[in-house]
């Protein structure tokens, strides 16, 4: 597994100074507002948050880091949840948002109440909020770049979209479109909504396969690769090169196919542990540190050479992951401050 390391040796030395407390955060309370928990990535994200929260509380860096997940995927439900968290008097809210802009009213209300808001994964555009993301557009482009190395003459592609209305879905799609524009030998001949979920993706792909011409590749957003593979197999269609999203079931299928017939692909997504980074970045803001409002961190990619090691660490039914520490957050802040 490959990820770009934030900072340099100098940044590591600076991190010692940056880690010194400017204010006592031991009594501070953070809430996680999460709009969706219906796939393995979100479950791993919540587990990473819980792990980081346990460490922060045991080390007296925070008093609480509670988790709140909405019962549906509706923006209005999450907006009401944020309003409730304001009333509960939390010092900060970390948010994986259902929409980049539809929650801005609730976010502004939190900021006006002097509550720190840090969005991650699904970000918000409210100027007062902090945003932690990977370069989703580049990740989308890299899918097509990889397929261009496999199919220099191009071919037809099927696109599986993510959760409609989220910033992630929009930006990855923009990257895929940009990748196709850079490699016009490819053509997207079908698009379905997979919601980053295996079963949903399998059903959606199965519904369109009979109307599609031969497909050489599937570009997607994560959590949908294995479902797509199952749909192609059930339809008796040849296996295309399906871009994967670091889920254990995808990686296991990939290895099985590689051992059987040499099947090779590429996998990438944001690490679910981005939630742990968001927790520590939030703690650093509460600690009085100067933090850029926009932080970019590397996405986690897996190549054929990385596959066996990734499978050793990805839990069955889970996803390959990185859990970040306070020092990782300090280094990420330092690296982004230099941009």
Judgement on whether residues 34 and 123 belong to the same structural domain of the protein: yes
Within a domain: 305: no
The length of the chain in residues reads 339
Q: Domain span at residue 34?
A: 9-134+270-300+321-337
* Low-confidence residues of the chain: pLDDT under 70: 1-22
Residue 335 contacts residue 6 (beta carbons within 8 Å): yes
What pLDDT, on the 0 to 100 scale, is given for residue 18?
Answer: 41
Q: What is the pLDDT of residue 10?
A: 28
Output the pLDDT for position 6.
Answer: 36
| Residue 165 confidence (pLDDT) | 87
What CA–CA distance (Å, rounded) separates 103 from 150?
Answer: 41
Domain presence at residue 2:
no
Domain of residue 46, CATH code: 3.40.50.2300
Domain co-membership, 185 together with 295: no
| pLDDT tens sequence across 261-308 | 999 999 999 999 999 999 999 999 999 999 999 999 999 999 999 999
pLDDT of residue 339: 77
Residue 1 lies in a domain: no
User: What string of DSSP letters covers 45-112?
Assistant: HHHHHHHHHHHHHHTTS-SEEEEEE-SS--HHHHHHHHHHHHHTT-SEEEEE-S-SSTTHHHHHHHHH
pLDDT value of position 55 = 98
Residue 9: what pLDDT?
A: 32
Angle at alpha carbon of residue 212, lines to 206 and 217, rounded to 5°: 85
């Amino acid at each position: 597994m490959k990820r770009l390391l934030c900072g340099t040796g100098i940044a590591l030395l600076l991190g010692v100074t940056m880690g010194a407390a400017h204010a006592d955060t031991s009594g501070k309370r953070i809430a996680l507002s999460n709009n969706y928990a219906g796939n393995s990535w979100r479950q791993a994200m919540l587990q990473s948050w819980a792990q980081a929260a346990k460490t922060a509380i045991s080390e007296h860096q925070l008093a609480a880091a509670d988790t709140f997940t909405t019962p549906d995927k509706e923006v209005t439900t999450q907006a009401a949840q944020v309003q409730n968290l304001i009333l509960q008097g939390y010092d900060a809210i970390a948010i994986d948002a259902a929409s980049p802009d539809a929650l801005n009213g609730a976010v502004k209300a939190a900021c006006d109440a002097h509550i720190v808001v840090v969005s991650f994964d699904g970000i918000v555009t409210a100027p007062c909020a902090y945003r932690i993301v990977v370069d989703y557009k580049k990740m989308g482009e890299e899918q097509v770049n990889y397929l261009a190395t496999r199919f220099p003459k191009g071919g037809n592609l099927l696109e599986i979209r993510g959760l409609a209305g989220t910033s992630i879905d929009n930006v990855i799609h923009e990257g895929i479109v940009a990748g196709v524009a850079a490699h016009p030998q490819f053509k997207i001949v079908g698009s379905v909504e997979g919601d980053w979920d295996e079963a949903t993706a399998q059903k959606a792909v199965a519904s369109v396969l009979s109307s599609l011409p031969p497909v050489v590749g599937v570009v997607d957003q994560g959590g949908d690769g294995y479902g797509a593979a199952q749909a192609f197999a059930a339809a008796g269609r040849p296996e295309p090169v399906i871009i994967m999203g670091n889920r254990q079931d995808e990686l296991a299928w990939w290895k099985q196919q590689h051992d059987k017939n040499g099947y090779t692909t590429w996998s990438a997504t944001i690490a679910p542990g981005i939630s742990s980074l968001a927790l520590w970045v939030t703690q650093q803001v509460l600690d009085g540190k100067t933090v850029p409002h926009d932080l970019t961190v590397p996405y986690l990619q897996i190549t054929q050479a990385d596959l066996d090691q990734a499978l050793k660490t990805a839990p069955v039914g889970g996803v390959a992951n990185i859990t970040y520490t306070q020092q990782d957050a300090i280094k990420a802040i330092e690296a982004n401050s230099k941009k």
